Structure formats: structure tokens, C-alpha cells
Chains A and B, each alone.
Chain A
Amino acid sequence: MFTSRRLRLGATALTLTALVLGSAGCGGTTRENSGTDAGGAQASGAANPDAPIKEGLKIAFLPKQVNNPYFTTADNGGKEAVTEVKGEFKEVGPSEASASSQVSYINTLSQQGMDVIVTSANDPNAICGALNQAKAAGAKIVTFDSDTKPECRQIFVNQVTAQGIAENQVKLISEQIGGEGEIAILSATANATNQNAWIELMKQELKKPEYSKIKLVTVAYGNDDDQKSFQETQGLLQSYPNLKGIISPTTVGVAAAARYLSGSQYKGKVKLTGLGTPNQMREYVKDGTVDAFALWSPADLGYLAAYAGAALASGQITGAEGDKFKAGKLGEFTVGKDGVVVLGPPTVFDKNNIDQFQF
């Protein structure tokens, strides 16, 4: 009996796999073509720089997850821009940062006939299919903060070039530790696209002669989880007695690290810099745990992304290299290679200027 049952189960499993393959075999290609056709058509349309920004555009923001202060700020920036162009703003998103739930939201949005979807990808590939479908349904796709594969969107609004970040961070830490000693990096999740890109470039940057005395000993991952980052910092300091400085290019990580340092014997001795929001870091900058850290303005990022989306939807730009568009108070921007628009160099915060910022 049971053997026969097992057989039956095994059999079904196999037949099912076969089915999947079978369905894969037939007509998969046509699907693919249609998908890219749609996307391609939009992209290859001619841009008309003088086209006015349409009114009443439906622009939706889909962050990695709602409940994340960073994205809340960014989305508010976007909202400001959308109201400026007299569009309808909407923010939706999953409560946990997972690609799969982002997909179902993208589906929902294209279902609702959005003109522009501005999103930050939890996974560069996972949401591509959905985005392409949305594109096919006539939506313009703008990504910000974390990009997808270029072919899945028209514009990626980059907070700052990875190069910019790398240079900035290395420069900061070097100044703080006096140009020599061991440093470590406390990153977010191990498969966060932008984080890894930055870290790569930081390694390049460190090869430069002026940083020759600085040694990067390890990269730790705090998974953008406060407690984990806290423990990882603690681990770093124990495993590397001579550690002089830590770079944490993630808002969660840098805050946790700062908190650990401020409560420990290493306060002030081990330098910390990274990317953090003034509100989180204000205390630690004031109590001397942190000399200086950097960040772009998430609000501006959202603001720019919204404008880029509006420009796309109005036919001002197509996402082709060289297209130019005006982004309200931020002035004019030019679309770079692969449809990347760069916000600009990050702002550095320290004792003197931190109180001027509220986000």
C-alpha cells in the first residue's frame, strides 16, 4: 500500500515537473518577444524636450517596504513633486521588504492603470517580469535607491554614483583615523545590490597611494537589523583589537554601531562613519562618538524620481542617454548611460551643520 502510495506521489511529482517543462517548451518565446516589444516601443519613441508636463498624471511610489523611515521621507519628497506637477500621488508597499510581495503590488498598480510607477527594488531580477508587464500595460517605470536590470525600467534615479559614495566614505574614514590603521565595513544584507557595488569600489579606492596605510580587514553584515548590526559591531571590535575605524554605508547599521560604541569603552577611540540620517545620528555626533557621516537627502531623491517619472510620461524624455529635464527646485538633470540620473554628491554632516537638517 505505502510503496504504491509513494510511487503515486513520486509519479505526480515527476509528471508535474514534466508539465512545468512542457509548458515552458511551448510558446515561451512568443511571450518574451511581446514583453520586450512593448518595453522597446516606449524606449525607442522620440523624445520631445519642449513637451509640457501633463497634468493629472497618476504617479505611484512603491518603496522596498512601508514602515521604513528612509523611504517614508523619500516618498514624501516624491509627494511634494507630484503635487507641484498637479498629479495624483499614491504610496503603496509591502510591510516586509520582500520581492514577491512587491511583485503583487506592481501587478495591482498596473491593474489600476498607473501612468508612472516609482519603485526601489528588493531584488534586481525578481520584479522584472512584473515591471515589464506593467510597461506593456503602458506605465512608465522609474527606479530609485536600488535599481533593477536596466531593461526593466526606463530611468534609474541614483542617489549618487557608487563612485561618489566610495570616494566620500573612504575620504571620511581616512581623515578621522589619520590616514592609517585597520578598518572594517559593516554592511546591510549580504545580497543588497547597491551595498555590494559600493563596497567593491571602496576596495578599489583604498588601492590609491594616499590610502596605502589603511587596511580593510573584513566586511560584516548586519542585515539592516538593528540588533544584528549591534552584535556584529561588538564582534568586529573583539576579533580585531587594532581596529581604528568602521564604515557602515547603511542607515540602520551606522546607528546601531554608533549606539554600541557610545555605550562601550571604545567610544571616541574607534572612529565610525557611514551613511545615516541626521535624526538618528544627532545624539552620537554631539556626544563625540561620531565625527562626521554622510547622506544624500532622501526627500530630494524621491522628488527627483517623481519629476523624472512625470517627464517620461509627458514624453519630455524617453530614458535615452543625453535627454534633459527640469526637476523643479533641483534644477536641470541629464539622463546618463543606461538611463541613469544622478542626484549628486552626498552631504556630509558634522557637529556644525547637523542641526540644520530634519530627516
Chain B
Amino acid sequence: MAHDSLYTAPPSGAVAGRERGRLAGLRGALGSWDAAIVAGLAVVVLLASVSVPNFATGRNAQFLLLDLVPLALLALPMTLIVITGEIDLSVASMVGLGSTLMGQMWLSSGLSLELICVLVVLSGALLGAVNGVFVTGFGLPSLAVTIGTLALYRGLSFVVLGDQAVADFPADWTDAVVQPIPGTSIPVMVVPVLLLALVFGVVLHATPVGRALYAMGNNGEAATFAGVSVARTKFWLFVASGAVCGLVGVFWTLRYASARGDNATGLELTVVTAVLLGGVSIFGGRGGLLGVVAGVLLLGVLRNALQLADVDANALTIVTGTLLIASVVLPHAVADVRARLHRRRQRAQLTAS
């Protein structure tokens, strides 16, 4: 009958078989990135703790994690955004603006700090919404838009607080954010980070929205035809990114007990590095949150260990750059090599048959 046509082709079974092998291989090459990065993290930690004095101590862990909080928080929404094939380079500037807003409000408006914190987070969301409108509403490339807002927001954050730095935040607050969980050396701030990571992880990997994100990252048009509201989803992603930036702004201000225009300058590069290191494809459509978290940790541990080992700050700069490049070149190289091997094996089979 008609449908037999699909099965008559004699060698198709064999083809399918080899196909299976190849796909497994491919998926290995790509899917294994998470595993690879986690393994890499483990190795680095191990090496550091044996070779670098003062590394494997509770106090150091506390410093390390504390330094990573902003990076980790920012990486979460960035992951989702990059997976949809967009990018948000304005995060660091939004953090800075959030920080100065907080300072200005604390300075001039007699509002309570609790309220101010909430307001900062909300204004962050607003800033993100501006990005979102430009990207989805006017249909502009997010790269260009967020490079624009990168400059705009940073400029505004200087405008807001001009030539002063606000620092007279209540000591119990500023101390609280750097405080470890009683009885441990883990900073209390790690808890909200993990919570948020969980939320983003679930959204990305176990909800319809997550599925939609991957779909639109790979092929926005097809996603649209499948009833995904591409524009609206992306818009809310940018809003989320902004809100998280606001949160980081609050944290940053309290942690360094100082709100100033240049807070978190240049952090966006580190965030992007961490996300890509975490195995998210800059083209969108591929990557996972676990990998990104591991990437963030790897980055932090590496920097901290090298610092403890008295490696020159400039060398650190080079390391960051190299890591970023390696994280994108390696997967390609691996996939390439695998493909070559398959082709050779394939040829062998052909000549044999």
C-alpha cells in the first residue's frame, strides 16, 4: 500500500542505524559540554586546593562566593535571552543606574530603605522594558539596542548622582549582605541566588515558555507559526533581566556600602563570558542553566585561585579573554574532529561493502 513506500528502500535500515550512531556522537559533542564544564570546575577546585595556599578555607570560600553573587544573578536572565538568539549588553549599566538611583533616593527622598530596594528593582524592570520595547516593539537588533542603552544607562547613572558617592547606609544592612549563614561560611546571599537559579532553571527546562524559548532561538518564524508570541516572550525576558539588574544594584550598593556612577562598569563582558563558557550558543537555541551556573563558578574559582597565587592582574585579564575564546572555539573544534572521524569510518565502510 502507499505507505509501504516509506519502508521499501532496502538500505534505509542500515542508514538509520548509522544515523543513530552519528546523532549520538553529535549529541555527545554538544550535550556533553555541561558535563565537561562541571568536570573542569571540579579539576580546577581540586588543583587549586592542593597547590594554592589559603585557597581551601572557609573564609576564602566566603569571599569567593560573595564576589560571584552579582555575576551569578546577572547570568540567569542572560542565559534565557541568549538562548532566544538575543543579547543584553546593558546589564552592567542597569546595575550601575540601579545603584545610583538607590543612593539618590536614600539621600534625598526620606523613604524607608525597604521601600527603596523594592523601587530600585521595579525601576530596573522599567529599564529592561525600554530595551524590550526597542527590540521587540520596533523590531531592532538587540545587539545594537543594548549597546546603545549600555552607554545611555551608564551616562544616566552618572547624571543621577553626579560627582558624589552615597555611602551612609545603615551598617547593619551593609554588614548583613556580606554575612555568612550562621554556623557556616556560606554567605547568606547565596540563598536568594540559588532560589532565583531554580526559578529560571524550571522556566527554561520544564515549562511551555522554556520550550518556546528554544524554538524561537532556532527559528523565530517557525515558532510564530506554532503560535508562540515571540515578541511578547522576548519583551518579558528583557524586563526580567532589568529587574534582576535592579536587584544586583541593591546588593552591590549594600555590599560595598557605596552608591556611585561607575559601579559594576564592564561587568557585562564577564557575564557574557560566563554564559558562553556555560555552553550557551551565541546563535541561540542551545544551552542549559546547569552549564551556565558551572561556568560562573569556574570563572570565579579560576580568578580567585590565580589571585591567591599572586598572578598579575593583567594576566587575569588575558585569562578571561582566552577562556571566552576557548569556550566557543573548543565545541566547534570537537564537533569538527568527530565529523572527520565519522567520515573516515564511513568511507572505510563504503569501500568494504
Residues of chain A having any CB pair with chain B under 8 Å? 1-2, 5-6, 8-10, 12-17, 19-21, 23-29, 31-32, 35, 66-67, 90, 92-96, 98-101, 103-105, 107-108, 111-113, 123-129, 189-191, 196, 221
Contact = CB atoms under 8 A, between A and B. Distances in A.
27 contacts: A1-B209, A2-B236, A5-B209, A6-B239, A9-B239, A9-B240, A14-B118, A17-B247, A23-B177, A23-B179, A23-B189, A24-B172, A32-B175, A66-B314, A67-B314, A90-B310, A92-B313, A96-B265, A98-B262, A99-B256, A108-B308, A111-B54, A112-B308, A113-B54, A125-B256, A126-B258, A128-B257
B59 interface: yes
B114 interface: yes
Interface string B161-173: 0111101000111
Contact of A95 (B57, B240, B313): B313
Contacts of A105: 307
A19 B192 contact: yes
Range for the number of chain B residues in contact with chain A: 35 or more
Contacts of A32: 171-172, 175
Contacts of A14: 118, 121
Nearest to B174: A129
10 cross-chain pairs, A with B, having the tightest CB-CB distances, nearest first: A190-B163, A28-B172, A125-B167, A24-B176, A126-B256, A126-B258, A107-B63, A28-B176, A31-B175, A95-B313
A17 B118 contact: yes
Contacts of B208: 1
A103 B62 CA distance: 13
Q: Is the interface of B mostly helix, strand, loop or mixed?
A: helix
A244 to B, nearest CB: 25
B179 A27 contact: yes
Contact of A111 (B63, B239, B314): B63
Interface of B: 53-54, 57, 59-60, 63, 67, 114, 117-118, 121, 125, 162-165, 167, 171-179, 182, 188-189, 191-192, 195-196, 199, 203, 208-209, 229, 232-233, 236, 239-240, 243-244, 246-247, 250-252, 254-258, 260-266, 304, 307-308, 310, 312-314, 316-317
Contacts of A19: 191-192, 195
Contacts of B164: 191
A129 B175 contact: yes
A31 B254 CA distance: 15
A157 B173 CA distance: 31
Contacts of A98: 262, 265
Given A2-B232, A104-B63, A190-B162, A31 B260 contact: no
A108 B307 contact: yes
Nearest to A9: B240
B250 A17 contact: yes
A174 B304 CA distance: 51
Contacts of B192: 16, 19-20
A26 B313 CA distance: 37
B182 A129 contact: no
